[in-house]
Amino acid sequence: MSNFVFVIDTNKKPCNPIHPADARKLLKTGNAAIFRKYPFTLILKSVSVEPTRPIQIKLDPGSKTTGIALTQGEVCHLSVSPWRASRQSVIFGAELTHRGQTIKKSLESRSASRGSRRSRHTRYRKPRFLNRTRRAGWLVPSLGHRVKTTITWVNKLIKFAPITGISQELVRFDLQQHENPEISGIEYQQGELAGYEVREYLLNKWDRKCAYCDVENVPLQIEHIQPKAKGGSNRISNLCLACDSCNKKKGTQYIKEFLSKKPEVLKKVLAQAKRPLKDAAAVNSTRWALFNALKKTGLPIVTGSGGRTKFNRIALELPKAHWIDAACVGEIESLKVLVTKPLLIKATGHGTRQMCGTDKYGFPTRHRTNKQIHFGFQTGDIVVAVVKTGKYIGNYVGRIATRAKGNFSLSHQQGKFDVSYKYCKTIHKKDGYGYTC
């Protein structure tokens, strides 16, 4: 089943999300109209007096994709935590794909272009390095984009649903419990999350490969670099991942004895064992920026770690997905997933300000005009085209690229063709995102 449908009343006050079947009844009886296509939202033709049920928005920030889920359910005593150990139902799921790598490439291309002009001593923009300062909490654009797009969607969902709290996976690993950057101590392998934090950390630190033979996609075991039988400790710096074959071959040998004929592998393993997980530290710093931005919404925030999320997902026997991980953030007793098909959101940007397009050799091939809107349409709008004559007779839904003459280019699931603006009707205005239901 697809996501629940958002509903707002005639004063644009958020109401309880409803089942798609109930949404069809409202549209059929004329009591509501379509307000927004993505996410699908209805607007009532009257003021709603029905009491709203609290909804929690849950976030699983990732380097490329952020999982989003809305849960609704019974709330425990608020004096402990507004959403602590509650029985929840997932009524909405989405996966937001970021464009950080695209931004990075664009900035590198711009820098190379300006540097090239300076080296040729042609007309150029002078470099500015010493006359600007960075504000506190500044992030590089490729990372700052991830925070901004996530906040954008949180604010959108707050407008369409009665959200009363936010849950965020604040850190991938629970590093804040330790003073050192490198996790250490046996306390991490005790308690309710026994082994989950450690294993998840090791999987990322060793790239989900065997440390000795680099084999992938096989069951991996936690292995002591310095054998435990010969005084090795349970510190994270003494742990790695090994396949069953390598683990049995090594046995209780010292690492230098086991890899005496593979000095390059020995050097790599010893260096990797001492290296903290820099990527996780970078992601965690971004998540703190997101956490501070979420606090500005004024809603109570509950946080959790990646190990807790994985523990919940495995305990509830749920499949691996970004939006499922988001629903499993924090402490929960039970989770009922009422949707199976999330909304896939891809950040595409709002286009480019470049007025002159070039070919792969840098020669100008096309020029853009300042006018963006033609016949009421703009490049990037999602339209429904009802073609009644010609080769492409039928109904199509897709994105358009406008032209001044009114002959638009329509891209849809089956392909791409030109269509007149007379056959098009806008169903979703350009907003910098692409959608797949």
Q: Which amino acid is at 355?
A: M
Give the per-residue pLDDT at 337.
92
pLDDT tens digits, residue range 297-316?
Answer: 999 999 888 888 888 898 89
Q: In terms of domains, do 200 and 335 share one?
A: no
* 306 and 340 belong to one structural domain: yes
For residue 187, tell me if it sits in a domain. Answer: yes
Q: Is residue 1 situated within a structural domain?
A: no
Does residue 401 lie within any of the structural domains?
yes
Phi-psi region of 394 (alpha: psi -120 to 50; beta: other; left: phi over 0): left
In angstroms, the CA 26 to CA 138 distance is 47
Q: How many CB atoms lie within 10 A of CB 57?
A: 24
Instruction: Give the CA radius of gyration of the chain.
Output: 27
Please check whether residue 281 lies inside any domain of the structure: no
pLDDT band at 191 (very low <50, low <70, confident <90, very high): very low
Whether 62 is in a domain gets the answer yes
Q: What pLDDT does residue 281 have?
A: 57
Per DSSP, which regions of 225-358 are E strands?
A: 239-243, 301-305, 332-337, 343-347, 356-358
Residues 391, 243: Cα–Cα separation, whole Å: 59
pLDDT value at residue 357? 79
Instruction: Quote the Cα angle for 33-386-411, to 5°.
Output: 100
Per-residue pLDDT, 116:
86
C-alpha distances in Å from residue 361, one per residue of 125, 351, 365: 21, 21, 10
Asked if 55 and 147 sit in the same domain, the reply is yes
**What is the overall mean pLDDT for the chain?**
84
Predicted pLDDT of residue 217: 84
Task: Indicate if 170 and 183 belong to the same structural domain.
Answer: no
pLDDT, residue 280, reads 59
- The answer on 425 and 384 residing in a single domain is yes
Residues 75-100, mean pLDDT to the nearest whole number: 69
pLDDT of residue 363: 84
Q: How far apart are CA 242 and CA 259, in angstroms?
A: 14
Cα–Cα nearest to 397, from 377, 375, 423: 423
The 10s digit of each residue's pLDDT in 364-410 is: 888 877 788 899 999 989 999 999 888 888 999 999 999 888 999 99
Q: pLDDT of 8-41, one tens digit each?
A: 999 999 999 999 999 999 999 999 999 999 999 9
Task: Give residue 214's pLDDT.
Answer: 87
Three-class SS of residue 309? helix
54 with 193, same domain: the answer is no
Mean pLDDT of 404-428: 90
* CB neighbour list of residue 169: distance below 8 Å, 6 or more residues apart: 59, 60, 61, 287, 303, 304, 305, 306, 309, 325, 326, 329
pLDDT band (50, 70, 90) for residue 179:
very low
DSSP string, 354-409: -SEEE-TTS-EEEE--S--EETTEETT-EEEEEE-SSSS-EEEEEEEE--TTSEEE
- Residue 115: its pLDDT value, please? 86
Q: What does the pLDDT look like over 48-60, one tens digit per residue? A: 888 999 999 999 9
pLDDT tens per residue across span 202-240: 887 788 889 899 888 888 888 898 888 888 887 777 888
The CB-based long-range contact list for 194-197 (8 Å cut-off, 24+ gap) reads 195/222, 196/307, 196/308, 196/310, 196/311, 197/173, 197/305, 197/306, 197/307
Averaged pLDDT, 48-77: 85
Same domain? 338 vs 247:
no
Residues 263 and 401 in one domain: no
Q: Note whether residue 304 is domain-resident.
A: yes
Mean pLDDT value across residues 116-134:
80
Is residue 311 located within the same domain as residue 200? no
When divided into structural domains, the chain yields a total of 3
- The CATH number covering residue 196 comes to 1.10.30
Same domain? For 43 and 154 the reply is yes
pTM of the model: 0.74
Structure tokens at 28: 């059929």
Question: Does residue 201 register a pLDDT over 80?
Answer: no
Q: Across residues 126-150, what is the average pLDDT?
A: 83
- Dump pLDDT digits (tens) for 91-111: 999 999 999 889 988 899 888
Instruction: Name the band, by pLDDT with cuts 50, 70 and 90, for residue 80.
Output: very low
Q: What is the pLDDT of residue 327?
A: 93
Check pLDDT > 60 for residue 244. Answer: yes
The CATH number of the domain holding residue 341 is 3.30.420
Range of the domain at 263: 176-276
Bridge partners (DSSP) of residue 374 are 377
Distance CA 408, CA 434 (A): 19
